[in-house]
Amino acid sequence: MKKSMVRVLGVVVFAGVLFLVGCGKKSDSVSSKTADAVEKTGEALNKAAKKTGEAVNTAAKKTGEALNTAAEKTGEGINTAAEKTGEAVNTAAEKTSEATK
């Protein structure tokens, strides 16, 4: 009975040692996989931040250009409207002058 008990206990200890050794290897593998995943995630975040920054800069530049163009067009429109108003006032003045003669 003692021999079988020692045998069973020996097998259990051996299985326990193998289990612990196996877990240690998996743990290293898992931690290296985790480290790789973290590194890849960091790289992806850096790329995304860079692209976002570039997109913001491009959008700001385009917005600035659009505002400048709009300001120029608005200025041209105001000048044209002022000229037309001046012409209309002159025409009205001439017609009024002719009508009073």
Q: Per the domain annotation, does 59 fall within a domain? A: yes
Could you list the residue range(s) of the whole structural domain that residue 46 is in?
A: 31-101
Q: Residue 29 has what pLDDT?
A: 56
Q: Per the domain annotation, does 41 fall within a domain? A: yes
Q: Per the domain annotation, does 44 fall within a domain? A: yes
Torsion on CA atoms 46, 48, 51, 53, rounded to nearest 10:
-70
Q: Residue 24 has what pLDDT?
A: 53
Q: Per the domain annotation, does 35 fall within a domain? A: yes
Q: Report the predicted TM-score, pTM, of the whole model to 2 decimal places.
A: 0.43
Q: In total, how many domains does the chain have?
A: 1
> pLDDT over 90 for what percent of the chain?
0
> pLDDT tens digit string along 12-25?
777 777 666 665 55
Residue 71 pLDDT class (50, 70, 90 cuts): confident
DSSP H helices in 1-101: 2-100
